[in-house]
Structure 1
Amino acid sequence: MVTEPAYQSGFGNGFETEALSGALPIGRNSPQKCAYGLYAEQLSGSPFTAPRASNERSWLYRIRPTVANWGRLAKADAGLWRTAPCAEVEIPPAPMRWDPIPLPSEGLSLIEGVRTITTAGDAGSQAGMGTHVYLATRSMENEYFYNADGEMMFVPQQGGLRLRTEFGIIDVDPGEVAVIPRGVKFSAELPNGSARGYLCENYGGALTLPERGPIGANCLANPRDFLTPVAAYEDRDASSKLTVKWGGSLWVTEIAYSPLDVVAWHGNYAPYKYDLRRFSPVGPVLFDHADPSIFTVLTSPSETPGTANIDFVIFSDRWMVAENTFRPPWYHMNVMSEFMGLIYGVYDAKTGGGFVPGGISLHNTMLPHGPDMDAFEGASNADLKPHKLEGTMAFMFETRFPQRVTAYAAGLAQLQQDYGDYGLPLRKHFNPERR
């Protein structure tokens, strides 16, 4: 039984790993009798008939199959976790921004501490996403969870997480992300005693690496930097609780053992982590400001080519060298809606303050947004020498769907009531007599 994380590198590979020698069958997936008295169980993340390139499944060789001791499920209180479609409140269309939400004083596990900020699309039709923060102050003890509605991307901002999964152990800290596919059971420990971060619940197609197009074979996120855990099983009998998110509700059942009992597995459907500081950004090296899509780490494709269900985009350390160019993000209105968070540092489009680590901003479908006055004036009058942005890590969950703000988020004391007015101080510079 392994208690520390170990990893194998690569993205979308056909992995194989065993915690006991010989636990993986050779040449067949479901032998008549598995080694060590194990059960074979397949976990499918795609339909059986999905094309090979998009077919996702793993074979798990476990002490008990999931169906064993599966008791009756009782509906549990979902707390402040919401699922699309969700239209609790009507919000006037305007940019929105929140200060960091403080950690609570009461003991909350990772699952109990999920607070939904927006929902988009429809989980039942497997399209869209939910954006959340998590505020955790206690580790999960004999408590396990899996999400049948979508895969989960954790973006730590304060304090790390140890995710004990069926596939192995993942440690994830601020500056890294972890992705848990739908249906994968896990338990979360808090090495630092508490943790705050962001969570994207993806109802649509699984996150994958974007096409590089004219960029070619290199840069952006490289497959070798994604880490998937090696097998690490728990053979432990103890009264435990398994919570399942299904159909937008939480359901709970009592079990008599740890469900993290996979001794060996092989396949391409597995959790993973990625260090955002290993992202290799590209950018303009002469003039003009490229679209932020060049900073896409992972994408959830839709049925429409080039239109993402979700893009996960980061704004990290990089050189700014373009000449005769307004270097921060330009003013724009976008068919995509943008949920932004700041892990650390200062975001270059909001230098006037108000967007701090742990904060949130929302710029919804076809609503105007762009740099604040300080950022505009500074960038418009700067001496355009090569400049390196350092010590910054902002990110964006972008989706083709409008995002609905929850009643919880709309009622937060941390909601900046005047943020929608940040463009008003921008001055008129037009003079037809002076080019």
Structure 2
Amino acid sequence: MDNLSYLTGFNNEHETEALPGALPKGQFSPQKVNYKLYAEQFSSTAFTAPRAENRRSWTYRLRPSIAMGDFEKIDNGLVRTAPESDVHCPPNVLRWDPVPLPEKDVDFVDSLVTIATNGDAKAQVGMGIHCYSASANMQNRVFYSSDGEMLIVPQLGDMLITTEFGRLNLSVGEIAVIPRGVRFAVNPINGPIRGYICENYGHPFVLPERGPVGANGYANQRDFCYPTAWFEDDETPHTLVNKFCGNLFEAKLAHSPFDVVAWVGNSAPYKYDLSRFNVMNTVSFDHPDPSIFTVLTSPSELEGTANVDFVIFPPRWMVAENTFRPPYYHRNIMSEFMGLIEGMYDAKEHGFVPGGMSLHNCMTPHGPEAEVFEKASNAELSPQRYENTLAFMFESRYAIAPTEFALNSNIRQRDYLACWKGLKKYYDGEK
């Protein structure tokens, strides 16, 4: 079972210790720490960031993080980072089948494949969108990204995420966020795992403002949880894999890096159960904008226009009167990357399967497939419960460029546009 504290990392300081008295009282860096530990600060924002936005934690560990060997460049595999110039970025609608499950033992790091990117990781703008499909433990390998925080969205299988700050069990229907620079390992629990990752190069994710909704609704702070401190005193050699400036490097450690005995602060991994999201929706008419389903947002310098939004479409009631209920046809300044965790998405009844993905870029028109339009336009409207569905969207102000793998792999559905071929003109001059 997880050993968790249900207190969010969003600006609330948290403290936890695996040994009594390991956490200093009254100051962060005493001359000598109990248990002969080292004090080390971990900062994921600038020191001088405003107090409400500042994220940092003090860790008390067996050794400082610098107790390691030099990094050496290793092969990037199918991992890519913005700005990506291998291929052009087409304005076409794009869709993919799920990344296949591995036929042999593959761990989390080796399974990573980048589907799309935008922005510039070195400038700390934009994101990378990856998939994982793993079947093996990472053993004594450890991973972290210096390029961005990692939002992990499982689609298949349970996993144990071991981090410097503690451990998280993660299942389908939950998400986890690993801050930029935090070392972690992912191990499947019962069979293979598959899912999606948003590597956020920009501002760390925060809860969106509720605006006129008021004090309640959407995702609530109380439902996000940190791991409690957990450590291992393990002298077994480990390999540290670092994603830095778009490339993968590895360094040798003579010990486990999971040696934090206590920590205090507000920059740490956290997880969230998506079923706790309090959906807001219309009870009169018209389909609201999908922004009402925003769980987390990474703001940009342009207020109200996100670097990345993480949006979900969970089970919910639909009661709008005299309204076309599926998502309307639209063109949008934002670019939309969608994934399906389970069930069926109401605007795409065929071809969009759990584990699959679609990309509708800035100003590329999209909306319900022809068959869905026919059905929804003629349905007898009554209150309807959408069950067995969970889709999500990574939405960004920047155009999202598919990678060479995504454009040319066998999982790309090259006939995606055909789902709109049945659209026809009904206009006959009559009202």
Task: Please give the range of the TM-score, normalised by the shorter of the 2 chains.
Answer: over 0.9
Contact 2:57 2:268 in 1 (8 A): yes
Counterpart pick for 1:393 among 381, 390, 394: 390
Number of matched pairs: 429
CA distance in 2, matches of 1:155, 1:175: 8
**Residue 51 (str. 1) matches residue 53 (str. 2):** no
Q: CA deviation at 1:424?
A: 2.2
Contact 1:5 1:168 in 2 (8 A): no
Counterpart in the other structure of 2:420: 423
Q: TM-score, normalised by structure 2?
A: 0.98
Counterpart in the other structure of 2:353: 356
Q: CA deviation at 1:194?
A: 1.4
**Residue 377 (str. 1) matches residue 374 (str. 2):** yes
Q: CA deviation at 1:234?
A: 1.0
CA distance in 2, matches of 1:326, 1:26: 59
Q: What letter corresponds to residue 67 of structure 1 in structure 2? A: I
Which stretch has the larger CA shift, 247-256 or 85-94?
85-94
Q: CA deviation at 1:91?
A: 4.9
Task: Deviation per CA, 1:272-299: give whole Å up to 9, x if none.
Answer: 0111111110111001110000000000
**Residue 64 (str. 1) matches residue 67 (str. 2):** no
Contact 2:371 2:422 in 1 (8 A): no
Q: What letter corresponds to residue 202 of structure 1 in structure 2? A: N
Q: What letter corresponds to residue 419 of structure 1 in structure 2? A: Y
Q: TM-score, normalised by structure 1?
A: 0.97
Counterpart pick for 2:82 among 81, 84, 104: 84
Contiguous gaps of at least 5 residues in structure 2: none
Task: Deviation per CA, 1:306-360: give whole Å up to 9, x if none.
Answer: 0100000000000000101111100001111111000000000112x10010100
CA distance in 2, matches of 1:206, 1:358: 26
Q: What letter corresponds to residue 197 of structure 1 in structure 2? A: G
Q: What letter corresponds to residue 175 of structure 1 in structure 2? A: G
Contiguous gaps of at least 5 residues in structure 1: none
| Secondary structure of the corresponding residue to residue 409 of structure 1 | helix
CA distance in 1, matches of 2:291, 2:132: 26
CA distance in 1, matches of 2:30, 2:417: 62
| Secondary structure of the corresponding residue to residue 58 of structure 1 | strand
Q: CA deviation at 1:179?
A: 0.5
CA distance in 2, matches of 1:407, 1:140: 27
**Residue 304 (str. 1) matches residue 302 (str. 2):** yes
Counterpart in the other structure of 1:323: 321
Once the two structures are superposed, the pairs formed by residues 158-177 of structure 1 within 5 Å of their partners are 158-177=156-175
Counterpart in the other structure of 1:367: 364
**Residue 198 (str. 1) matches residue 227 (str. 2):** no
Once the two structures are superposed, the pairs formed by residues 76-225 of structure 1 within 5 Å of their partners are 76-225=74-223
| Secondary structure of the corresponding residue to residue 235 of structure 1 | coil
Contact 2:229 2:260 in 1 (8 A): yes
Which stretch has the larger CA shift, 422-431 or 214-223?
422-431
Q: What letter corresponds to residue 24 of structure 2 in structure 1? A: P
Alpha-carbon RMSD? 0.9
CA distance in 2, matches of 1:96, 1:187: 32
Seq. identity, %: 55
